[in-house]
Structure 1
Amino acid sequence: MGPERATTLQDVADRAGVSRATASQALAGKGRMSPETRQRVRDAAEELAYTVNRVARGLRTSRTGVVGLCLPDQTLSFRYYMDVAYGAVERAQESGMLVTLLPPAFDGPVATEQLDGYLTIDPVDGDPLVSRLLAGRKPVISGEHAPEGLPAPWAVVHGDHNRAMRLLLDHVRERGSRRPAVMLPDPSMAWGREMAAGYHEWCAEHGVEPQELLGWFDTSIDRVRELLDELFAQPEHPDSVITAPEGMAIVAMDAIRGAGLVPGVDVLVASYVDSDALAVHQPTVTSLDLHPREMGRRCMDELVRALDGGAAGRSVEVPIDLIVRSSTAG
């Protein structure tokens, strides 16, 4: 007995009662057809245990079916970046593509040539991998604005972080704060610079003396706590604090308690980035929903559009929403 014949795309098309071209488009999530037809093809493929031959497809289309995802170093423990990645992977799956995570220090031809395109999320100034990707021939979608002085990405997907910072500041002011302090993220990323600009502009407009700390991704919790202890030991300490990166709000509340103050009463607390822990911590923490999964999906939408021949130069904004909880009760 000879080897069992592998299921082909024609077998799937015959089972579903459609043409081979329709079957190919249905499995790739493309083409104009009814949802019933698309589902019938997918059901036939599942019944026949059919899998796409990506090598053969790549030979026909000059595409591998694989795209690269570049995240900033030391961010894999942050929920925000994992949600962005999941959103991108979900959208890629709908288009029959795979996503591979590129190591931050990776140096090789795959960084610029071997994959179909790339997503770079929160690109950092001076990152050599980001520089190589943007200088390459493959389309690159930037999640948040790319560093200046480099070739422009194919498209940019971003939040309005100047407006979002003002949204938080207006909120704590409405709750009685007159001396808001902020812990800002790494200024070598665009969203950190936009947050800082929004804070300083807001302070100038309201006659407030800025009080800011920097919270780098690799800053230790002990060092953050030292900075916060110094801040709240001042006679005219802040009466509210807005924290970034993710998770720093809980450290801030510990420092507030350590100074003999009550978080949410003596000092209002808000986080620039929401997380599951902030919804259950006591007091629960006011934050911003940056819609990270939507960020990932929209970045991949733009990459799919680029690979399908869409025009470059688009700018897509992801909404940012305020989540009010008890830490800003006043």
Structure 2
Amino acid sequence: MSTHTTDVVAAGVSATRRGLGICVTPLETRRDVILHVARRAEDLGYDGFYLAEGWSQDAAVLLTEIATRTERITIGTGVLSVWGRTAGTLAMLAASLDQVSRGRFVLGLGASSPQLVEGLHDQSFTAPVAKLRAVTAQVRRLLDGERVLPTATHDHRPLRLGVAARTGLPIYLAGLGNKSIQLAGELADGWTPFLVPRSWLPRGIDLLQQAGARSGHTTRPLVCPAVPTAVAADQATAREIASWWIASWWIAFYLTSMGSLYRRSLSERGYHHQVEAVLAGNPTHDTTDVPAAAHVLLDELTVWGTPDSSHVEFFVRVMSSASTVALNAGYALALSPADPHGLRSEISFDGAIVVDPVPGNYVVDRAIQASRPLVTIGHLDGVASTIIDNDFETAVRGVLDHFWANGARRPALVSSPIDASYATRCVAEYERWCAEHHLPAQVVVTKSGLSDESGRLAALDLLAQPEPPDAVFATLHRLALGVVAGAQQSNVDIPQDLMVAGLGDSEAAAHHRIPISSVDLEPTMLGRLAAEALIRRIETHEIPPNRTVPSTLIVRTSSTRSQ
């Protein structure tokens, strides 16, 4: 569960960085496991721990125990059904947990689903948005120290809570439909989207902000997506986990077993055929498969892969920005992998944006064959496209000059495979810089992928040389993380004996135990410019000029030597 992006902040999290939280689902019923995960999340530096309530454990009881066993981490309900408790009991629960946790509590509320409301709480699931509105407003009144606002005529006077007011206690709403998202913009401190397509999130954020503005709010609620996640040591195992576990319990399960709510939501957002494929592939509750025709839902609704899936954060920021531009212009931006199974031949499209294109890219070939406008983020020789790219030459020189100014005289380069243009350009510029400074060039091109492990092995190789480097620049942030690990394994001090920097910034680099200097490639600007260029080509048939996006070197501990 992401507790915020740059302008999406959770309680207790600095607005200058992205927080990350853990959310445990109602399917986990082992108390000892839940407590262990909460303590472990705090030990590992996570910012939040959220507990959902369904039809098993009482979330408030477990969170009370967690509050007494943790010191720093934000805790919250993620989420509680507004049908399971009255507004009065929800307000008492929130005030008590906020007191026990010493101000670390976030109250997450949601309208739940027909299955849970009718199947467990024995209530009719009618007017869920109105119910969510009424309960949220009443809870807020009580936490602010006000009296209950009666909804019916009674003989007794309305009460207020018998404890000190908890004004400002954060309330997040788990809105799925447009009306509930707008309600979050109007009444809540945060929005927690769940099973909302990643590419549609910019549209949801627009709804949130517009509703807040109509209500007179100067800032919009925080956006904290709850995203099912599956990670494994290798790609094959990761795909198996994503297909059988994540798909089972989060896609197929919710589409086949939780009523029409999620089916309708996804269908309305452009995934009707994928929803139908899941339903057809699971005619009974005995199977929970996601057929190949619906695999796009895995990427849209979950995060899955290996720990070294380094492209994810960069691509999400690029495509989120591009999606916002596309939606505002009346276009839908669909995500597709660059393989023949990702873009079926019968699907029509107006144009394509391809990130880091390589020879043989299937989407590039389809666009050329169909005479469709093409914009690439990165160069690809022999292809007529509008190119949006970074100035990698300046970026490389900036890092090497920074190393030099801090005393490095044996800088090395660890490069990802040079089939992508950015890697080729980085290697060439590094070699030019070394020649100008009369230094030998030490280049290691990884052969085993773009992982931390590849960077670690490269570092071990470099550090075993008779004259090991005193600085390493890696052409990918995951490689830089691996270089740091290799240096630590070799008992090499960072940054005194070895300075490290990476191309492309990331949360992992920024919040590593040794924060790693990084080149911010401005993926948000790349995505915006690419979408604007593509739309211009589609609508005017003009070919926009190529654009170069400047990068910024963010200096952190890994390359800052004490004088």
Q: Structure 1 CA distance, aligned partners of 2:447 and 2:482?
A: 14
Aligned to 2:382: 149
Q: Which runs of 5+ in 1 are unaligned?
A: 1-38, 44-51, 55-72
* Count, aligned residues: 261
Q: What letter matches 1:103 in structure 2?
A: P
Partners of 1:76 and 1:82 within 8 A in 2: no
Preserved contact between residue 310 and residue 451 of structure 2 (Cα < 8 Å) = no
1:175-186 correspondence to structure 2 within 5 Å: 175-186=406-417
1:266 is paired with a residue whose SS is: coil
1:116 counterpart residue number = 350
1:112 Cα deviation after fit? 9.0
Within the candidate set 72, 83, 88, 2:317 is matched to 83
Task: Tell me the residue number matched to 1:70.
Answer: none
**AA matched with 1:83:** R
Answering whether residue 561 of structure 2 is matched by residue 317 of structure 1, we say: no
1:111 Cα offset (Å)? 5.4
Whether the 8 Å contact between 2:446 and 2:454 is mirrored in structure 1 is: no
Distance 2:503 2:483 in 1: 13
- 3-state SS of the aligned residue for 1:102? coil
Contact 2:494/2:558 (8 A) holds in 1: yes
Contact 1:78/1:246 (8 A) holds in 2: no
Q: What TM-score, normalized by structure 2, do the two folds share?
A: 0.43
| Alignment check: 8 A CA contact 1:289 1:321 kept | yes
Q: Deviations over 1:148-195 (max 9, x none)?
A: 233x01x11111111111111111111110100111122111111111
Does residue 225 of the first structure (1) align with residue 456 of the second (2)? yes
Aligned CA distance change for structure 1 residues 188 and 111 (closer, same or farther; 3 Å): farther
Cα distance in 1 for residues equivalent to 2:350 and 2:517: 40
> Do the aligned partners of 2:395 and 2:551 also contact (CA within 8 Å) in 1?
yes
1:106 has 2:319 as partner? no
Distance in 2, Cα, partners of 1:234 & 1:186: 22
Alpha-carbon distance in 2 for matches of 1:195, 1:264 = 22
Q: Which has the greater radius of gyration?
A: 2
Aligned-residue CA RMSD (Å): 2.8
* 1:129-159 per-position Cα deviation (integer Å, ceiling 9, x unaligned): 323323431111111112x233x01x11111
Counterpart among 497, 512, 537 of residue 306 in structure 1: 537
TM-superposed CA distance for 1:249, in Å, is 1.6
What secondary structure is seen at the aligned counterpart in 2 of 1:156?
strand
Out of 389, 392, 403, the residue aligned to residue 161 of structure 1 is 392
Distance 1:117 1:315 in 2: 17
SS of residue matched to 1:100: coil
Offset, 1:217 = 7.8
Question: Distance in 2 between the 1:164 and 1:115 partners?
Answer: 35
* Equivalent residue, structure 2, for 1:277: 508
Deviations 1:5-31 (A, max 9, x none): xxxxxxxxxxxxxxxxxxxxxxxxxxx
User: Partners in 2 of 1:254 and 1:311 — Cα distance?
Assistant: 49
Q: Which of the numbers 474, 484, 488 marks the counterpart of 1:257?
A: 488
Q: 1:326 to 1:112 in 2, by over 3 A?
A: farther
The alignment's TM-score, normalised by the length of structure 1, stands at: 0.72
Greater CA deviation, 311-320 or 289-298? 311-320
Q: 1:95 aligns with which of 329, 333, 337?
A: 329
Higher relative contact order (CA 8 A, sep 6+): 1
8 Å Cα contact 2:450/2:478 also seen in 1 = no
CA contact (8 A) 1:184 1:245 kept: yes
The change in CA–CA distance for 1:217 and 1:112 in structure 2 (over 3 A counts) is farther
Alignment partner of 2:535: what SS? helix
Q: Secondary structure in 2 aligned to 1:79? A: helix
Q: Residues 111 and 181 (structure 1 numbering): CA distance in 2 closer, same or farther, change over 3 Å?
A: farther
Q: Name 2:359's counterpart in structure 1.
A: 125
